[in-house]
């Protein structure tokens, strides 16, 4: 009976000990939610309330008719798509080649891919502008002069795509490296090659399906950076979405904040859709097993 009594006395203490981490998790969650939601709610209130007119959603109604909104947003989305495609085509095959054929070069590749983090954006833009100016003078007598002028076309500046590829390379490398660490690349490649698969087939049908989460993370990090990048585009004289927001903010503060909120919500919705999609695919595979 004493033993049973002792067990009965100890039993109530177990749930109490388990509830403490839950309480701390709830407090941390509330603090994190307040940290992110309070500034967002304050910005939303600023866009819908004025002391003279009261509550009004006119700022959001002006978005579609605002001069330059559709053009700048379409330009940023086009630059983002091109940047995502180009950086993945450059980074993924290079990382696979290093892992399969030259593992000793992994530290060198890591340093090279993360090097843009230590280069200040102002210095980076100054180097680009100097190179473009010098290249225009040097290549003027050659046929490459027209190509150099074409990549600086304001309608679609390819030079921004090249600059963004360098800026997002550290984040893309980290995402892909984390995905490659979760799979046995050498075994998968050797098995596919022994079955007669070509290298493009191995890359598209064997490696990429196993890196969907890493590719999605890299893509949306690139999308977020391109949509919010201001320094490079502004100093080079182009007007994508972020530069347009700053330009509008000088005369229409409510409109610029409304655009910022909508762009933030758009990115959140895209991330939520991708997370839900990959969650369903994973659940379907586990259920099939």
**pLDDT over threshold 60, residue 2:** no
Average pLDDT, rounded, for the chain: 81
Cα–Cα–Cα angle for 228, 229, 231, rounded to 5 degrees: 140
Better pLDDT: 258 or 79 = 79
Q: Is residue 84 part of a domain?
A: yes
Instruction: Band the pLDDT of 258: cuts 50, 70, 90.
Output: confident
- Confidence band of 18 (pLDDT split at 50, 70, 90): low
How many domains, the chain?
A: 1
What average pLDDT score do residues 74-90 get?
91
| Residue 87 counted as domain residue | yes
206 belongs to a structural domain: yes
What proportion of the chain, given as a percentage, has pLDDT over 90? 14
Give the rounded percent of residues in the chain with a pLDDT score beyond 70.
84
Spatial neighbors of 157 by CB under 8 A, at least 6 apart, are: 79, 151, 236, 238
Within a domain: 42: no
User: For residue 289, is pLDDT > 60?
Assistant: no
- Which of 198, 221, 184, 189 lies closest to 88 in space, CA to CA? 221
How high is the pLDDT of residue 4?
47
- Asked if residue 24 is part of any domain, the answer here is no
Q: What's the CATH number where 166 sits?
A: 1.10.3720.10
Judged by average pLDDT, the poorest of 19-28, 201-210, 249-258, 276-285 is: 276-285
Q: How confident is the model at residue 17 (pLDDT cuts 50, 70, 90)?
A: low
In a domain, 162, yes or no: yes
Average pLDDT of the segment spanning 148-169: 90
Residue 2 lies in a domain: no
pLDDT classification of 7: cutoffs 50, 70, 90: very low
**24-69 pLDDT, tens digit each:** 888 888 898 889 888 888 888 888 887 777 777 777 777 767 788 8
Average pLDDT over residues 193-219: 85
Q: How confident is the model at residue 277 (pLDDT cuts 50, 70, 90)?
A: low
Indicate the pLDDT class of residue 164, thresholds 50, 70 and 90: very high
Mean pLDDT, residues 189-211: 85
Taking only the tens place, the pLDDT of each residue in 171-188 is 999 999 988 888 888 888
- Residue 254 falls within a domain, yes or no? yes
Domain that holds residue 220: 69-288
Q: Which segment, 22-26, 165-169, 226-230, 235-239, is predicted with the most confidence on average?
A: 165-169
Does the structure show a pLDDT above 70 at 1?
Answer: no
Confidence of residue 103 (pLDDT cuts 50, 70, 90): confident
């Amino acid at each position: 009976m004493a033993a049973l009594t002792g067990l009965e006395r100890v039993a109530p203490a177990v749930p109490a000990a388990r509830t403490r981490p839950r309480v701390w998790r709830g407090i941390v969650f509330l603090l994190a939610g307040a940290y992110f939601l309070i500034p967002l709610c304050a910005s939303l209130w600023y866009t819908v309330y004025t002391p003279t007119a009261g509550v009004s959603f006119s700022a959001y109604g002006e978005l579609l008719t605002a001069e330059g909104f559709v053009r700048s947003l379409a330009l940023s989305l086009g630059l983002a798509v091109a940047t995502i495609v180009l950086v993945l085509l450059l980074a993924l095959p290079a990382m696979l080649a290093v892992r399969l054929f030259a593992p000793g070069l992994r530290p060198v590749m890591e340093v090279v891919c993360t090097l843009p983090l230590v280069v200040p954006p102002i210095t980076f833009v100054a180097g680009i502008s100097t190179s473009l100016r010098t290249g225009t003078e040097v290549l003027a007598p050659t046929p490459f002069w027209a190509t150099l002028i074409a990549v600086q076309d304001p309608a679609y500046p390819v030079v921004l795509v090249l600059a963004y590829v360098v800026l997002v390379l550290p984040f893309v490398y980290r995402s892909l490296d984390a995905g490659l660490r979760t799979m046995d690349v050498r075994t998968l490649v050797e098995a596919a090659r022994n079955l007669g698969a070509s290298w493009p087939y191995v890359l598209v049908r064997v490696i990429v399906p196993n890196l969907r989460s890493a590719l999605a993370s890299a893509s949306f990090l690139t999308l977020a950076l391109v949509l919010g990048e201001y320094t490079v585009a502004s100093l080079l004289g182009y007007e994508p979405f972020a530069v347009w927001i700053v330009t509008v903010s000088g005369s229409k503060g409510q409109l610029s904040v409304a655009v910022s909120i909508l762009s933030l919500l758009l990115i959140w919705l895209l991330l939520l859709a991708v997370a839900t999609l990959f969650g369903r695919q994973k659940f379907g595979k586990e259920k099939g097993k």
